[in-house]
Structure formats: C-alpha cells, structure tokens
Amino acid sequence: MKEMILILDFGGQYTQLIARRVRECHVYSEVIPWHTPLPEILARQPRGIILSGGPSGVHDEGAPRIDPAIYEAGIPILGICYGMQLTALLLGGRVERAREREYGRITVRMKDRDGLLEGLTESSVCWMSHTWQVTECPSGFHAVAETEHCPVAAMENREKRVYGVQFHPEVTHTAEGKILLLNFLFKICRCSGDWNMKAYAETAVRQIQDAVGPGGTVLLALSGGVDSSVAAALIYRAIGNRLTCVFVDHGLLRKGESDQVCHVFSHLFPVRFIRADAADRFFADLKGVTDPEEKRHIIGRDFIEVFRKEALSLGKMDYFAQGTIYPDVIESGQGSNAAVIKSHHNVGGLPNELGFTELIEPLRMLFKDEVRALGETLGLPRELVWRQPFPGPGLAVRIIGEVTPEKTAIVRESDAVFREEIAAAGLDSRISQYFAVLTNLRSVGVMGDERTYDYTIALRAVTTDDFMTADWARLPYELIERVSARIVNEVPHVSRVVLDVTTKPPASIEWE
C-alpha cells in the first residue's frame, strides 16, 4: 500500500466513520487497536496517524495509553477528542473535567486559520461530545480554536506536525469537518489521494490470499443479498474455486432472484456452487403457521439445518466466510479491529456447529454504500449490487397468515409488477424500499360479469436514511393507477390493491 492513514481506535463510536471519511478523500485508511505496538505501526509506514475518540477519561484508572515515542516518529498525528486529550496529557499539558459538559452542535471560534483550520470560517458549528477537556496545551503547542466553555477546542504544534481537535470533524453535523480532514490529509500528510475501490479490492484480495494460504479452502453461505454476494465475488478473485458457496433456496425469494444468483456464481464468478433447493421443506414446515415470530423461527431453523447438511456433505473446509459489514459489527458489539480475519466467537452460530474456529469477513470495515461500490468494481451486475434490503425470512413475512406456495406466487408476481413499474418510472433509486404485501383479507369484487371473492394486495414504499425511521413515499397517482390495474389484471386471485400510508414509527416497514 503506497499511501495510508492509520487510525488508532480507542473505542469511539465514530472511529470507522473517520476511516470512511478518509477513504472518501481517496486516501486508504485502516483502523487498528490502540495497543498495537509502536514498531508494528511504524513498519506499516503510514503517511499520518489519527487517534480516535473513546469512552474513557484520560485520568480514569486503566484508561488507554500509547507509547509517547509515537510523537517523535516524524509522522503527522491528529488526535480527535480522547485522542487529543491523550496527546495533551502525554506531552505535558493539562486535562481537566469540563465545568460545562458540551454535547451536540456547538459554535467553535477558529482563532488561527493558517494550519489545520485553513479555509474554515471563523465561527463554525462543530459536533462535540465530551466531559474532559484540555485546559493547558503542552509546550510547543498553541490553542487554535475555542468555545464558550472550552479554552482549547483545537491545538497544534506545526513544527512536529501534531494536532488535536476536541470536536468531531468526521460527523456531518460538523459543517466544515471535511475541510479540516482535507487539510490534514493533503497539506499536512502530503497525501496524493490516488486511492480508490479498485485499490481496496486489490489489497483485500492479497489479505484473503495471505489469510487462507496457498491450498486453503473457504465455505460461504450465499443468501443472494448484496453483502454475501460481494464477499463471494471478492473471495473468488482471491482464491478462485477453492471457494465453495452454498445457496439455500427457501422458495421465498423475489421473482428472478434465485436464478440470477445461480447465473452470477456459475458464469461470472464460477465458484464451486451448491444450490440447495429446499422450498418443499420450508413450505411443509410453515404449513398452518400464522404467527410472525414462529414463521421467522421455523425459517431460521430450517435454513441452518439445510445449510449444515449441505456443508457436511462437502467434507472439511478450512475457513467459513461471511459478508458481515461494519454496521453488523457495531450492532453485535464486537469492536472493529481485525480487517479480514478474526477469531470466531459468535454465540451459538452456525460456524461453531460446523467446527470452524476462524472466520473470513472481508467486508467488516466497510459501510453499505462502500460495499456496493466494491461490488460494482468487481463486476457484479448493477441490479444485484443495488438490490434493496430484503428480510432473511423473505416473502414469508410479506404474507399475512399461513404461507403457502400459492400465496407466495401471488405476492411474488404482484411484487414483480410493482418493481417493474417503479423502475420504468425511474424512481427505483429514489425510494429506499418498496414491495407488495399479501394481506390475508379477501373482499368482494366483480370481474367481467362474475362476482369474485379474492385477495387484497397492499403496496408499501418508504423513504428512509437508516431504516430506523421511515416515511411513506409519495408515489405519483398515475404510477399507483398503473400498478393497481396491472396487478388486478395480471395476477390471479387479486381483486383489490391498497396503499400503505403509515410512517415508521408507529408502523414497522415490513408488515410482520
């Protein structure tokens, strides 16, 4: 790697976001644990080092400390929040409990805008979240920014190229954070900014090759979603068909998806591909079940059993691969350390049962949009890479009441019509998620001269940034009209179409 910024992680909630912002500036960056020995850090020849924030106070017992020799290595350093306080403490400054805890958007006065703060406005809104603060800079440093309550909101020692900021330049609430990061990367660290996803793919391929070794084999559970598909494509690049993918087709995917997955991984990325066609088993086990949680439970259990049976019939593999991405890592509270490979400690997980002790997780440092960009770089089809989220239990949670093959066909066909029309209207990239739901409701209709008594399809379309909250999408009436007419005409046993106009909360996005 020609040019790299290393981020020492002190456990801050935004650490990976720093890495992502740096990568957005076309400079490669990696997060490593704060206790990585200094010689190891120096051996990687970073262009610059960023010390992240963290939950500890610098004076807490057992608070993370680093070797102060890092400041003498001639490498530019930027400390953020805890990283700044630690720098101040280790170099002889003073860090004290703030009299006024600052949290949220705070106006910061930029006093000296010649160095790190070049190009920022004098009074700039920044995101702060701290209890401790630097009250006295170490010798050789001077305060370059302040707030009403914080005398040293930023400090610098230009000669040694060591900097600190109390606020968080990586979050979007810090209006001019990007300018600050650009200054650090390009003016101070003198990066050239020639990194891109292609380079990431090359690095990841090398890391996978090193981790797996020359003859090692890898097993991956392919769901057909974006993450596992991108992971499979990447690992295939690294080790070819020493990768085996097992795809459990539960018969509850959207129209065309199962065939597309099979096509991609037998033609574009010809891995050793096993398709377990298990729809009959899933439908048999779901027969008569109406409770949403019970459906999910049955599908989860069946999935594991089918996968295990297939995996065991393949003989021993060396590694188990997963398309875990950074938000999953955070959600499971596992921290952000190893890049590609980590010891496996999933509680009660499938890899354990199959006897794997180590996992290959090549996407664990990436955010969703970075994963999509990587997928495109690797040459995966756009429809697959830009696929909207889809629940693991599939269409089963979009059929209210009992799941049967007939009802699955109704919701699948209705959904396909809806998707087609949204795409034709050019709205697919503007709506975060949209799908059809088969309500269990039947109502009276009239078709031709005949009375009908058939199902009601609900259309759900939402816009959201994070899927935690969502608004219903204001679809054009003409579009709704076309979708409704087509579904009723083309899909047998549907006689009525309704539109879901509920936000989340109080409703969830899925109906079950």
Catalytic residue numbers, as ranges: 81, 168, 170
Residues 322, 222: Cα–Cα separation, whole Å: 9
3-class SS at 175?
coil
Contact 27/191 with Cβ under 8 angstroms? yes
* Minimum distance, C-beta of residue 469 to ligand XMP, in the bound complex (Å): 9
Pairing relationship of beta strands 94-110 and 123-136 according to DSSP bridges: antiparallel
Q: Where are the alpha helices (DSSP H) in 462-504?
A: 477-490
Enter the tokens of residue 282: 């899933």
* 502: contact with ligand XMP by CB under 6 A: no
Per CB under 6 A, the list member of 48, 93, 251, 393 interacting with ligand XMP is 393
**Residue (328 or 376) nearer to ligand XMP, CB:** 328
Stretch that binds ligand XMP, among 62-70, 312-320, 389-397, 440-448 (CB under 6 A): 389-397
Strand partners for 277:
249
**Among 490, 489, 471, 487, CA closest to 479:** 487
Q: Is the sign of the CA dihedral 378, 381, 385, 390 positive or negative?
A: negative
* 510: contact with ligand XMP by CB under 6 A: yes
* Minimum distance, C-beta of residue 327 to ligand XMP, in the bound complex (Å): 12
**Residue (42 or 507) nearer to ligand XMP, CB:** 507
* 500: contact with ligand XMP by CB under 6 A: no
**Residue (107 or 332) nearer to ligand XMP, CB:** 332
* 332: contact with ligand XMP by CB under 6 A: no
**Residue (23 or 295) nearer to ligand XMP, CB:** 295
* 504: contact with ligand XMP by CB under 6 A: yes
Residues 187, 158: Cα–Cα separation, whole Å: 12
Residues whose CB falls within 8 Å of the CB of residue 180, separated by 6 or more in sequence, listed in order = 116, 117, 120, 165, 169, 174
3-class SS at 3?
coil
* 224: contact with ligand XMP by CB under 6 A: no
**Residue (157 or 258) nearer to ligand XMP, CB:** 258
Enter the tokens of residue 5: 């910024």
* Minimum distance, C-beta of residue 340 to ligand XMP, in the bound complex (Å): 23
Per CB under 6 A, the list member of 33, 381, 389, 401 interacting with ligand XMP is 389
* 286: contact with ligand XMP by CB under 6 A: no
Residue window 348-387: x/- pattern of binding to ligand XMP, with contact defined by CB under 6 A:
----------------------------------------
Residues 484, 495: Cα–Cα separation, whole Å: 10
* Minimum distance, C-beta of residue 512 to ligand XMP, in the bound complex (Å): 8
Contact 237/265 with Cβ under 8 angstroms? no
* Minimum distance, C-beta of residue 466 to ligand XMP, in the bound complex (Å): 9
* Minimum distance, C-beta of residue 424 to ligand XMP, in the bound complex (Å): 23
Phi first, then psi: give them for residue 145, nearest 5 degrees.
Answer: -150, 155
* Minimum distance, C-beta of residue 296 to ligand XMP, in the bound complex (Å): 6
Q: Where are the alpha helices (DSSP H) in 341-476?
A: 350-353, 368-378, 382-385, 405-424
* 33: contact with ligand XMP by CB under 6 A: no
* 509: contact with ligand XMP by CB under 6 A: yes
In the chain, % helix, strand, coil (3-state, to 5) comes to 35, 25, 40
Residues 344, 68: Cα–Cα separation, whole Å: 33
3-class SS at 120?
coil
Stretch that binds ligand XMP, among 83-91, 361-369, 485-493, 504-512 (CB under 6 A): 504-512
Contact 124/168 with Cβ under 8 angstroms? no
Residues 325, 368: Cα–Cα separation, whole Å: 7
* 392: contact with ligand XMP by CB under 6 A: yes
**Residue (335 or 389) nearer to ligand XMP, CB:** 389
* Minimum distance, C-beta of residue 375 to ligand XMP, in the bound complex (Å): 18
Residue ranges in 422-481 that form contacts with ligand XMP under rule CB under 6 A: 433, 467
* Minimum distance, C-beta of residue 508 to ligand XMP, in the bound complex (Å): 3
**Residue (392 or 445) nearer to ligand XMP, CB:** 392
Residues in binding contact with ligand XMP, number by CB under 6 A: 10
Contact 7/31 with Cβ under 8 angstroms? yes
* 292: contact with ligand XMP by CB under 6 A: no
The half-sphere exposure of 511 on its side-chain side, counting CA atoms within 13 A, is 23
Binding site for ligand XMP (CB under 6 A): 389, 391-393, 433, 467, 504, 508-510
